[in-house]
Structure 1
Amino acid sequence: MPAIRPPSPNATRLRSVADTIDALSTAVPGAYREQGPPSLGELQRQALRIGEQHQLLLGTAAALGGAPLADSAQRALARALADAGSRVGEALATVSRASAMAARIHEVDGLDGPRAEVVRERAGRELNLSLSRTRLALNEAGDGLRREARARQDVTEPPHVRPRAALVRSSGPRSTPVLTGPSATAAPAAALPPTAPRR
């Protein structure tokens, strides 16, 4: 019967990172929100949090990937974290773009005239697009980590166990006789009963 493996430590770690990234995505200001575009200070705080997560992902991936005795699981974990770091880096770039647009809107705040109106309209549109792209990149990073975590606890068949004697027979030298009975020690020749003479 198939057995479900319990979550590995790496799978648990990936889910924890994904939850952190989800929290970052939720905190990103919504595009076209009722209270108007976010302020430059609000976006700066978002950029700092996303940037910290970006550095943490890449730093952890580099530490795991650079370990001299890293096994295949560690290398796979390093690759998954680096992939997520790439997505979070995209989110950092787009939220920074949103910050630049917020600064343009602030520059013309309170000014009248067609030029100020054009700046507000274009910068507002670009700001909202950047916020949408930020959230999308963060969601993709979290989803990718969860897919990696699921891959580490697939349903697997239990390994087939061959009899120990068969393993010994198949792995031992062909010229060496192998005892496959219940006892691992052969009786000495002197203790064996004599063979009855044939009539």
Structure 2
Amino acid sequence: MTVTVTTDKKTDDQAETVDDAIGIEETAEEIVESEADSESDDEDTDEAEPEAATASSPGWRRRVLVGSVAFVFVAALALSGFLGWKLWQAEQVAQAGQQAQDAAVAYAQILTSIDANKVDENFDQVLAGATGEFKDMYSQSSVQLRQLLIDNKATAHGVVVQSAVQSASKDKVVVLLFVDQSVSNSTVPDPRIDRSRIKMTMEKVDGQWRASKVELA
């Protein structure tokens, strides 16, 4: 009986040992499979990332290219508009300068020409082409000047021999004029030539260029 019990116990121990060994092997196999699956997933992820980067790279470059082209186009359009505006401004000033210069030449000849027999008509023409400071000054002095011209039977005829624009804006232009004036009166009946340099400031009033300041330079 003693031998029989001992034999059964050994058998049971061996069986338990075998079972434990089998369990350990199964656990080891599961760990190995789990690690293999993990490595496989990592490899799949690593392979997927370059593919995603490669797939997105052309789109990113396209967006950058489109943005750059749009920026260059907008910048060129803005520059073109600014240059066009500056050119238009320059043309406007140049046109104003030419118009004011022509008006100053015509007005200088009216201002430096007088006929004792047509004093009132001459004064009206001078005042019609004047404005501001010069118009006020001429109006105040015209009464005394009128009588002086009549008493001395004075006559004069002015001719602009040269003119140039000194400065210009769209509404105000300064013109330099060289004038030859032929003058005669009852005391000196033979005409003499007076040459003068006039600095005339022209201002645009109601669409017309008029003299606001006249200086002998």
TM interval, shorter chain, is: under 0.3
- TM-score w.r.t. the length of structure 2 is 0.26
Q: Report 1 or 2 for greater relative contact order, CA contacts < 8 Å, sequence distance ≥ 6.
A: 1
When Rg is computed on C-alpha atoms for both structures, the one with the higher figure is: 2
